[in-house]
Structures are given as structure tokens and as C-alpha cells.
Amino acid sequence: MTRDDGQDRSFDDVLRQHAGLLSRIAASYEADPALRDDLLQDMALALWRALPNWRGEAPLRAFVARVAHNRGATHVVGQMRSPVGGALSDDWIEPRHGPDGYAELEERRVRLQDAVRRLPLSQRQAVTLALEGFSHAEIADALGITANSVGVRLNRAKAALKSVLGEDA
Amino acid sequence: MSGQGNDWSEWGELWRDQPAVDVSQLARAASRKRWRMRVIVASELLMSAVACAQCLRFMSITTGRWQVWSFATLVFMLVLQWLYLHVRRGTWQASGDDVRSLLQLSLQRAVAGVRLARINLWSTAVWVVLTVLVSVPELEPSHWQADPKLKWTLVLQCAVNGPLILAIIVFCLWYIRRQRARIARIGELLRPDPT
């Protein structure tokens, strides 16, 4: 087995473990399904390129999230039009079947995704990491800001999310 | 748990419950992109090698001012290649740094990109003027009208290099405009949080 084969195999394992995380982060940056798929592939590619640099100083999941957000930020910089979508579209709701009440849950999930996407980028990045269960310190480390700034961003984002989702503040 | 914590944990559960990703398809797509990237890099290197080889060949079959011109063109191409690599340094390995550092790096690259495009525009202009000056004797009508081979060479050079130079100018102007838009956008993203 060559070094490249080993690297690719290790990458495939990492990709398998973190595909969901990458997909959710991609969804926070891009509403259009085709562009979102493309962004997800670019994130996977960025991960393949960045993985040899991972030395284990941060948990792998945090490293993957950081690389994905870096690619997402580059995507935003490259987007000359406004990256946030317009009205909520049924196209975004993936057809999934389940027991009664599932449709309602699915709609809430899509509304949350849409609301997150409407946040300013600085808040959106902090929110997506918080929703993935990262601590304030880990978010601060990934975004290159202080833990205090993370708290400020999350508080502002929470108020905005509640407003958009129509929940009581 | 506080109400605030409940909100985040409830939203977090909802957030993570997203449709499963087709990992095999994603891996295949990423693999295709990896190969496409390698092919692009190989093509760029090959084109540069061919261009340098052409200059070296021209140097070996000419004498006098045309030999000097070939040498100058070779140096010009090598300098541009070096500047090109200098601007793109570090882009092969995707950044594992924090997002703010990446944005700052992107800003530096965009500024360097604008500088490089300007250098490219000016150096192209200098190269065109130098080429015209070197070929003044051949451009004399009495010279090329009496030599069908020279006439054919001049027509061919104008037909190939004219559109090429025009394309370089249009590309550089477009690139400068695009990089300026990037600089403005990155500046917005790097602006500190309002208090």
C-alpha cells in the first residue's frame, strides 16, 4: 500500500464519520441544493488537503468543523450575490417518511435551518458550532475569537432565532 | 438546566436530525475533484514547461537581437511564474487555522493578487513594446513584401499573439475587479462585533 493509498483510506474513514457534520455546516452556508452539494464536495476536498496537518492538538471533530467553516467562509467571500435565500421554499424539505407528527418535526427542522442561514456570518458560525454541541472555548478556538465574544454572538443569535422562529423571547 | 440551555439543547437535537448523507457518493465526488485539481496543476506545469522550451529553442536557432529577445522573454516568463506561485503559496494545503486567520490570509492574498495582476498588465505592455522595437526591421513593408515566408510569419504572430494579449488584458482587468470585491467582502467579515 502506498502512502497516498493509506492517506486516502484514512480520509475516507474520517469522511464517513463526519459527513453529517460537514453536510449540516454546508447547509448553514448555502440554501440552493445544487450549490450546497457542490460546497459539501469542496469541504470534503478541503478536508482531504488539510488532514495531513492535523497533529491531534484539537479533537478531530473540532478540526473537521474548523476546516468546513474555513471553506464556508471562502464560499461566502466568493459569493458576490447575497448568500442568504429568500422565502422558505418547499424544495428545501427533504422527503422523509416517519410516524405521525414527523412532518411537523421536519418542518421545524427546516425552519431552524432557514433561520440559522439568515443570521449574519459571525453569528451563524458560532451558532452552527453550538448546535453541534461544541463548548464556548472550542467555538472560540475554531473561530479565532475570545470566549466572551462567543457568548455575545450566541446571545444575539438566540434572540434573532427566537424572533424568526416565532418563539417567545 | 437553565431556559437558555434548554433552547440550545432543543435546537441542537433538531439541528442534528438532518437527512443522512450518501457518503459513498460524496467520497466519489470528492475523489473526482481531487483528480481534477491534480490534472489542472499538471496542465499548468506542462504549459509553462512547453513555453520555456520554446524560448530555449528559439534562443538556440537565432542570433543577435532575436536571441536577446528570446532570453528576455524566458526571464519574463520565469519571473511571472515565480510571482504566480508566490501569490498561490500555501493554497494547496487547506487551512486548518481558525476562521479569522484564514480570512486575514485571504485578504493578504487578494491584495497580492491585485498587485500581481497590475504587474502582469504592465509587464505585458513592456513585452509588446520590446517585441515591436526588436522587430522594427522585419516590420518595414519593403522587407516583408519581398519575403513571403516573413509575411506569413508576421501574419501568424499577429493572429496568435494579438488575441492572446487581448485575453490577458481582459482577464487581468476582470481579476482585479473580482479581487477588489473580495477585499471589500472580507473587510466586512473581519469587522469587529458591534458593542
For the stretch A101-117, pLDDT in tens is: 567 788 888 889 889 98
Cα of first residue to Cα of last residue in chain A, in angstroms, is 57
Q: Which residue has the cell 452539494?
A: A37
Residue in A42, A50, A158 nearest the CB of B96? A50
pLDDT digits (tens, 9 = 90+) for B118-156: 988 998 899 899 889 988 888 888 888 888 888 898 899
pLDDT at B89: 66
Residue whose entry in the numeric block shows the C-alpha cell 469587522? B191
Looking at residue A85, its pLDDT comes to 45
Question: Measured between beta carbons, which residues in chain A are less than 8 angstroms from residue B3?
Answer: none
- Is pLDDT larger for residue B187 or for residue B89? B187
Q: Give mean pLDDT, residues B89-115.
A: 75
- B17 touches A at CB < 8 Å: yes
CA angle A150, A152, A158 (to 5 degrees): 100
CA distance B25 to chain A (A): 10
Whether residue B30 and residue A49 make contact (CB cut-off 8 A), yes or no, is no
ipTM: 0.77
- Among A18, A38, A16, A17, residue whose Cα is nearest residue A29: A38
Q: What is the pLDDT of residue A33?
A: 86
pTM over 0.80: no
Please tell me the distance from the alpha carbon of residue B92 to that of residue B168, in angstroms, as a whole number: 24
Of B15, B29, B106, the CB nearest to A41: B29
| Average pLDDT of chain B to the nearest whole number | 84
pLDDT band, very low/low/confident/very high, at A156 (cuts 50, 70, 90): very high
- Residue position matching grid coordinates 522594427: B136
- Touching check for B132 and chain A: CB below 8 Å? no
State what percent of residues in chain B have pLDDT above 90: 16
Tell me how far CA of residue B32 lies from CA of A16, A42, B29, B37, B93, in angstroms: 17, 11, 5, 9, 18
| pLDDT at residue A5 greater than cutoff 80 | no
